[in-house]
Chain A
Amino acid sequence: MNKSQRVRPLAIAAAAVTAAMIAAGCSSGSSSSSSSGAATASAPGITATQILIGSHQPLTGPAAPGYSEIAPAANAYFSYVNAHGGIYGRKIKYTYLDDAYDPSKTVSDVHQLILQDSVYAIFNGLGTPTHLAAVSFINSSKVPDVFVASGCDCWNDPSKYPETFGWQLDYIREGKILGAYIKQHFAGKKIGYFYQNDEFGQDGVKGLDDEIPSSQVVSRQTYVPTNVNVGPAVAALKASGAQVVVSFSIPAFTALLKLTSLKLGFNPALVVSDVGSDPITLGGLLEAFAKQGGATVNGNQLTQGIISDGYLPTLGDTGNSWIALFKKVHDTYDAKAPFDGNVLYGEAVGYAFVQAMMKAGKNPTRQDLVKALNSGLPQGPAVAPYAYSSTDHAGITGAYIGVIKNGALVQQGPVYTTDTSPTGAVTTYTGAEQAAPASGMP
């Protein structure tokens, strides 16, 4: 090999970078100016005819089953809105990128959405570890970050993250509401915890501990999502003599908990967080896991009697105006997906976004959306009000208790609301739930 060839690798390197960048195409953000009157391009991502929003979602990878239904369901509701006049005449265009639940891909997705696609807002970015990786960049870019799809209390931090708003019931409030129910209905019983060893499980347990006397809690077992061997944890729960097991788990681990308990002849009352209790998802997982182990079970039979909670109307409540509306939208625009909890979630959070945009005004800047939310949002499909104010960016503040019967959650008793403080009481919500507007539009 002669000397001149030695330089080549790096010379080619330089040429290659150039070529690739040219091939990938250069683009630059669009500038815009605001004025009043007719619909104008009032902010990045908003033109006279369109509102462009973006999201990061686990469309592939470990979190995709179930969760990948959420963004298409929200988009189905946007299609309905677009077909019925849009938001002040503008159509919503929803670009959701796959992050495969990998935080470094989330960061890359969000850079693409904000720097290249110039979205107006980030909407419903899914996951706690994923969104945490991107939340600083979104806020420093002054892009509204609305309705994060995670119950982490961390989104409610207006001084640090003024652009970020939670949406779903946070895990601390959920823990408190479940805890208050357990304290009342299982007084004096031995209680065991089974929870995911991250902020989801820990926040939930924080809420439970605010309500349940610590003398009643006989065992605290954790799992990590990467280790499916829950045998030791379940055996410890059994050995502790727990009569009630409270589980802050994702659906797959609720199913493992149930099947392992069954195998060990352990049959406590089971209380499961909303996140891990969607009866359709859970029933399917129970049957699939049992089949892998060479057994046949009836999913509906095994989920029977599980106590959970809900902050949206129950799917089985066909008389509910929201369920009727979302079922209609689902059948028209998203019929291939099953009408389950994930789809309901996606459509409901889509509705909330349209509500917020209507409130933000005809030609909104990015700050107008944040300002609109800082002055509160009507309740919409949720069973309890939103907490939104300039000092509080938490979402839905309450839920009802439900019991799974024949593969569907059935509401038991009233809706309870509470706050995230250790001393704040869990109270019965006396306000009326709202009915869905006849037009289906906020």
Chain B
Amino acid sequence: MTLARHAGAAIIAAVVIWVLTVQLSSFRDYQIADIAVYLVAIAGLTVLIGLSGQISLGNGAFMAIGAYATALLQMHLNWPLWALFPASAAIAAVAGVAVGAAAARLHGPYLAGATLLLAVALPSFATQYPGVFGGDQGLSVTVTAPAALGVDFPPTRWLAWVNAAAALIVLVLLANLARSRIGRSWRAVRDDEAAAALAGLNVARLRVLAFVVSAACAGLAGSMLAVYSSQVSPGSFTVTLSIALLTGAVIGGLGSLAGALWGSLVIVVVPTYVMDVATSHGLSSTVAANIPVAAYGVVLIAVMLLFPAGIQGGLRRFFGLTPPTDAGPFARLNSLRRRPPASEHQEEGTT
């Protein structure tokens, strides 16, 4: 049973995270919450790119939709946290249907351009309608830890738990989806659209569905971001964010959920770590501030040169987990490149 196996892994991961949050400092808890946000967003993107073969430079905009949905629902209707997360994901998914319907007709650079437009244009709605969205200052989001945990309970640990739990649930769902009939159909469409259509698959619907799943993940990630940073504002959802998500997916290894974890770790931990090292070596803050950007670039170049299939692909190759000639469905990078027909469907096995 795939579901049981994934759920088992998630429970193990939950225990590990629980131990980590209790053992580590409050700031590390905060970083775990941060990593979980990126993990969800990148996991959604990596499924879109790696499995369905579409690209999106606009997932930052879907995060903004989820984040503002959370803020507005919390502010006006005072919804509880457990309802905010799914509601925000659902609202972003609806937006994903609209964008996906248009995007399903586009390919390659045209699709990238169209979604980039979304990332550029959407955040300015907040400044255009300050009465609703609070303008540049955005809206504040107040979610407090349940009183049952006690007054002295560190709020960052609570945030880490909430975000990590949401991330694990998403990963289990995505992992199952990738192994399901839908996941196989996506790969079929990705590898050869004409063949997939001839085999009776509804190509357009599958492509839109992938967009919706990806948008829902981004919406949830936006909601998590709003909750753990206790605010939403347009400055958080610039084009840079959308590019960072794509970078994270590529560095980790496209199509791989484990790769999404590597990608989010690189995005969250590398900048703070490099910054700490730079300042502890006596560099002034002004100089040090530019080093994470440079380090980010170096990591990106190094990963692409050493492991073209991302960190996860590199690890698989290094440990010989799969034959180098076929890195397996989860580590496949070249979804955007046409590959010769592979015998992938045979090796997929049953669900």
Question: Which B residues are CB-close (under 8 A) to A13?
Answer: 9, 13, 171, 257-258, 261
Q: How far is the CA of A224 from the CA of B8 in the complex (A)?
A: 50
A226 at the interface (CB under 8 A from B): yes
B153 at the interface (CB under 8 A from A): no
Closest to A136 in B: B230
Question: Which A residues are CB-close (under 8 A) to B16?
Answer: 14, 17-18
The answer on a CB contact under 8 Å between A227 and B136 is no
B138 at the interface (CB under 8 A from A): yes
Q: How far is the CA of A1 from the CA of B256 in the complex (A)?
A: 15
Question: Which B residues are CB-close (under 8 A) to A115?
Answer: 25-27, 30, 156
Binary CB contact string for chain A from 66 to 107 against chain B (1 if under 8 A, 0 otherwise): 001001100100000000000000000011111001111101
B334 at the interface (CB under 8 A from A): no
How far, in Å, is B60 (CB) from chain A's closest CB? 11
B175: contacting residue among A9, A14, A103, CB under 8 A = A9
The answer on a CB contact under 8 Å between A104 and B9 is no
Question: Which A residues are CB-close (under 8 A) to B128?
Answer: 224
Question: Which B residues are CB-close (under 8 A) to A71?
Answer: 285-286
B78 at the interface (CB under 8 A from A): no
The answer on a CB contact under 8 Å between B258 and A130 is no
How far, in Å, is A437 (CB) from chain B's closest CB? 27
B9: contacting residue among A14, A16, A101, A224, CB under 8 A = A14
The answer on a CB contact under 8 Å between A197 and B236 is no
A128 at the interface (CB under 8 A from B): yes
B127 at the interface (CB under 8 A from A): yes
Closest to B275 in A: A97
A59: contacting residue among B127, B236, B289, B312, CB under 8 A = B289
The answer on a CB contact under 8 Å between A95 and B279 is yes
Assuming the contacts A17-B17, A26-B24, asked whether A129 and B5 have C-beta atoms less than 8 A apart, the reply is: no
Closest to A336 in B: B286
Binary CB contact string for chain B from 148 to 189 against chain A (1 if under 8 A, 0 otherwise): 000000001000000000000001100100010000000000
Closest to A131 in B: B137
The answer on a CB contact under 8 Å between B9 and A132 is no
Binary CB contact string for chain A from 1 to 43 against chain B (1 if under 8 A, 0 otherwise): 1010111111111101110110110111100000000000000
How far, in Å, is A148 (CB) from chain B's closest CB? 14
The answer on a CB contact under 8 Å between B231 and A133 is yes
The answer on a CB contact under 8 Å between A104 and B136 is no
A267 at the interface (CB under 8 A from B): no
Quick check: which of B69-77, B86-94, B265-273 contacts chain A, the rest being far away? B265-273
B325 at the interface (CB under 8 A from A): no
Question: Which B residues are CB-close (under 8 A) to A8?
Answer: 258, 321
Question: Which A residues are CB-close (under 8 A) to B140?
Answer: 132, 136
Q: How far is the CA of A57 from the CA of B288 in the complex (A)?
A: 13
Question: Which A residues are CB-close (under 8 A) to B171?
Answer: 9-10, 13
A128: contacting residue among B137, B256, B279, B322, CB under 8 A = B137
The answer on a CB contact under 8 Å between B289 and A60 is yes
The answer on a CB contact under 8 Å between A107 and B258 is no
How far, in Å, is A124 (CB) from chain B's closest CB? 13
Q: How far is the CA of A130 from the CA of B137 in the complex (A)?
A: 8
A116 at the interface (CB under 8 A from B): yes
How far, in Å, is B317 (CB) from chain A's closest CB? 14
The answer on a CB contact under 8 Å between B6 and A10 is yes
Assuming the contacts A1-B347, A7-B8, A10-B9, asked whether A24 and B127 have C-beta atoms less than 8 A apart, the reply is: no
The answer on a CB contact under 8 Å between A17 and B261 is yes
From B265, B312, B321, B328, name the one whose CB has the most chain A CB atoms within 10 angstroms: B265
The answer on a CB contact under 8 Å between B6 and A108 is no
Binary CB contact string for chain B from 23 to 56 against chain A (1 if under 8 A, 0 otherwise): 1111110111011000000000000000000000
Assuming the contacts A9-B258, A18-B20, asked whether A197 and B25 have C-beta atoms less than 8 A apart, the reply is: no
Q: How far is the CA of A57 from the CA of B136 in the complex (A)?
A: 17
B residues 100-134 near A (Cβ < 8 Å) are 124, 127-128, 130
Closest to B265 in A: A20
The answer on a CB contact under 8 Å between B225 and A104 is yes
* Chain B binding surface, main DSSP class: helix
* Chain A binding surface, main DSSP class: helix
Question: Which A residues are CB-close (under 8 A) to B6?
Answer: 6-7, 10
Question: Which B residues are CB-close (under 8 A) to A130?
Answer: 235
Q: How far is the CA of A224 from the CA of B125 in the complex (A)?
A: 11
A111 at the interface (CB under 8 A from B): yes
The answer on a CB contact under 8 Å between B20 and A21 is yes
How far, in Å, is B128 (CB) from chain A's closest CB? 7
Assuming the contacts A7-B6, A101-B235, A198-B136, asked whether A29 and B25 have C-beta atoms less than 8 A apart, the reply is: yes
Size bin of chain A's contact surface: 35 or more
How far, in Å, is A333 (CB) from chain B's closest CB? 11
Q: How far is the CA of A107 from the CA of B20 in the complex (A)?
A: 22
Question: Which A residues are CB-close (under 8 A) to B179?
Answer: 6
Closest to A18 in B: B16
A226: contacting residue among B25, B127, B229, B349, CB under 8 A = B127
Assuming the contacts A59-B290, A60-B289, A132-B137, asked whether A10 and B27 have C-beta atoms less than 8 A apart, the reply is: no
B192 at the interface (CB under 8 A from A): no
From B128, B140, B231, B284, name the one whose CB has the most chain A CB atoms within 10 angstroms: B231
The answer on a CB contact under 8 Å between B138 and A103 is yes
The answer on a CB contact under 8 Å between A72 and B286 is yes
The answer on a CB contact under 8 Å between A26 and B9 is no
B211 at the interface (CB under 8 A from A): no
How far, in Å, is A324 (CB) from chain B's closest CB? 25
The answer on a CB contact under 8 Å between B12 and A1 is no
Assuming the contacts A59-B285, A130-B235, asked whether A9 and B137 have C-beta atoms less than 8 A apart, the reply is: no
A112 at the interface (CB under 8 A from B): yes
A199 at the interface (CB under 8 A from B): yes
Closest to B256 in A: A9
B residues 203-257 near A (Cβ < 8 Å) are 225, 229-231, 233, 235-236, 238, 256-257
B308 at the interface (CB under 8 A from A): no
Q: How far is the CA of A293 from the CA of B272 in the complex (A)?
A: 40
B residues 262-303 near A (Cβ < 8 Å) are 262, 265, 269, 272-273, 275, 279, 284-286, 289-290, 293
How far, in Å, is B21 (CB) from chain A's closest CB? 10
The answer on a CB contact under 8 Å between B124 and A108 is no
Assuming the contacts A13-B257, A24-B273, A107-B229, asked whether A96 and B285 have C-beta atoms less than 8 A apart, the reply is: yes
Question: Which A residues are CB-close (under 8 A) to B23?
Answer: 26
Q: How far is the CA of A102 from the CA of B258 in the complex (A)?
A: 28
From B5, B26, B273, B289, name the one whose CB has the most chain A CB atoms within 10 angstroms: B289
How far, in Å, is A319 (CB) from chain B's closest CB? 31
Question: Which B residues are CB-close (under 8 A) to A136?
Answer: 140, 230
How far, in Å, is B165 (CB) from chain A's closest CB? 14
Closest to A54 in B: B285
How far, in Å, is B226 (CB) from chain A's closest CB? 9
Assuming the contacts A7-B8, A9-B330, A11-B12, asked whether A133 and B272 have C-beta atoms less than 8 A apart, the reply is: no
Q: How far is the CA of A111 from the CA of B172 in the complex (A)?
A: 30
The answer on a CB contact under 8 Å between A27 and B25 is yes
Provide a sorted-by-A list of 18 A–B residue pairs whose CB atoms are within 8 angstroms: A1-B328, A6-B6, A8-B258, A9-B330, A10-B12, A13-B13, A14-B17, A17-B261, A20-B269, A59-B285, A59-B290, A72-B286, A103-B236, A115-B26, A116-B25, A129-B136, A129-B137, A224-B128
Known pairs A12-B315, A24-B31; list 6 more (Cβ under 8 Å).
A10-B172, A17-B13, A17-B261, A103-B231, A108-B30, A112-B272
